[in-house]
A and B are shown apart, each in its own frame.
Chain A
Amino acid sequence: MNLDDLRRLREKAARELALRSEHRRFRVVVCMGTSGLAKGSREVMDALLAEVDRLELDDVEVVATGSSGVEDLEPIVTVEEGGETPVVYGQLDADAARRIITEHVVKGRKVTQYVIARRLPGEVS
């Protein structure tokens, strides 16, 4: 990497940022603690990232977090949308992760077969 490369990148990224809406609509949180990782949360994370990029979803943020504390149901992903009740998905694989993006995030249809909990905003999980 050299300085010119980075300057070009800065211009490109700044253009993208200028076009993006102020707030991101969705926050997709992936539990990547010990048990999650052992059960495939890394693959789930990569699938989510790839799908978000493939569909060019600028209002979706995918973030990693630590253990969920519910080892049995890992890999666990929580979809948060504005003031909506977060939806917690469990026992996911890469395919299920892609469906969460194409169904829930894009079409607003929850992938019910993987939903394990609904949490009220502000409530401690």
Chain B
Amino acid sequence: MLHVLDVAMNAVSAGARTVKISLCEDPEADRFTIVVADDGPGMSADMIDRVLREFATTTTETKQAGWVGFGLALFRGTVETCDGSFRLLSRPGVGTLVEAVMPYGHPDRPPLGNVAESLQALLLGCVSINWCLTHRISRHQYRLDTRPVRRIVGAAYDTRAVREWLLERIREGEAALAVGRQTR
């Protein structure tokens, strides 16, 4: 989840309005897919090349790269260590999409960790962002899209009542997935 949070925070820092995160665990097909897509300012081909190289370069260049440090390079490093594939698609003015596909059972694949706690940090720490979250394990999945919630509650979106409600949706979703995992 660390990489997921990191990429999502890149999107937030870059000025995205909507960030979509999809976590898809498919043990049967030995595939684990993470997608983070945003509608931020996007990056030029040159910039993409730079942010992925950053890990191997100096801090001066990191600074020149602007808002992106070495997070994406680290993420790609993790993905490649477990024989996965990493894609970074971005277009200035449209947005950015990061996709990581890894073999589910690879011994070097870091565990996803506490999904609920990680998602809640994003959801509640960045209330101005529209979050669209999907977590799937095999055939079970849940989805939480904050856009309809925001449309309906309006200015009262940033209240404890809404925060609690959103958290409850995540907990509920994760709990249902945990049951699904056991009965698989």
Spell out A's residues near B (CB within 8 Å): 1, 3, 6-7, 9-10, 12-17, 20, 30, 32-35, 37-38, 42-43, 45-46, 49, 53, 56, 58, 61-67
Evaluate whether A64 and B12 lie within 8 angstroms (CB atoms) in the complex, with A34-B69, A46-B121, A49-B120 already known. yes
CB distance from B161 to the nearest CB of A (A): 4
Q: How far is the CA of A63 from the CA of B126 in the complex (A)?
A: 6
CB nearest neighbor in A for B72: A34
Q: How far is the CA of A16 from the CA of B118 in the complex (A)?
A: 26
Spell out B's residues near A (CB within 8 Å): 1-2, 5-6, 9-10, 12-13, 67, 69-71, 74, 117-118, 120-122, 124-127, 148-149, 152-165, 169
Cross-chain pair count, CB within 8 angstroms: 99
CB distance from A22 to the nearest CB of B (A): 13
Give the residue of B125, B159, B169 whose beta carbon is less than 8 angstroms from that of A32: B125
A16 touches B159 (CB 8 A): yes
A42 touches B154 (CB 8 A): no
Q: How far is the CA of A17 from the CA of B160 in the complex (A)?
A: 9
A42 touches B153 (CB 8 A): no
A12 touches B6 (CB 8 A): no
Q: Contacts of A63 on B, CB cut-off 8 Å?
A: 125-127
A33 touches B121 (CB 8 A): no
B125 touches A9 (CB 8 A): no
CB distance from A32 to the nearest CB of B (A): 5
